């Protein structure tokens, strides 16, 4: 996903900055990380308060198997509902959830 498309998706939230992160990209709004792009997939930040909304929408949480212990590790990033990619208002609502989760995390 190129930076122009990322900026377009987050337009309703406001101007975002994009930085290299984890071999992918970190997307920041107002100094708060709100999303990542990893392996070409855009994922939004969530927390205990917002994760149920993502789950209810059928989104997937980013998980991986830890190389040291072989256990499944869950990260605080979730996929975005497909419908949000084509609906700027819906995308803005999801991006705001991600921003609020980031603010609550203090990062």
DSSP three-state, residue 105 = helix
DSSP three-state, residue 7 = helix
pLDDT in tens, 28-86: 999 999 999 998 899 999 999 999 999 999 999 999 988 888 899 999 999 999 999 99
Query: Domain boundaries in the chain?
Result: 3-106
Question: What tokens were used for 106?
Answer: 């203090």
- Write down the pLDDT at residue 14: 96
Q: Within 10 A of 102 (CB to CB), how many other CB atoms are there?
A: 23
- Which contacts (CB < 8 Å, 24+ apart) does range 19-25 have? 25/1
Backbone angles phi, psi at 37, to 5 degrees: -120, 120
Tokens 């208002």 appear where? 89
Candidate CATH numbers 3.40.50.2300, 3.40.50.720, 3.40.920.10, 3.30.1460.30; the one for domain 3-106: 3.30.1460.30
């Amino acid at each position: 996903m190129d930076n122009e498309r990322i900026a377009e998706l987050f337009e309703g939230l406001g101007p975002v900055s994009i930085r290299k992160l984890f071999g992918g990209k970190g997307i920041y709004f107002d100094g708060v990380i709100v999303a990542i792009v990893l392996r070409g997939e855009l994922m939004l930040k969530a927390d205990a308060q917002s994760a149920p909304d993502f789950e209810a929408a059928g989104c997937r949480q980013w998980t991986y198997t830890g190389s040291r212990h072989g256990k499944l590790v869950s990260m605080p990033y979730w996929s975005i509902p497909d419908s949000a990619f084509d609906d700027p208002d819906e995308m803005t609502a999801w991006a705001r959830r991600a921003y609020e989760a980031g603010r609550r995390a203090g990062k």
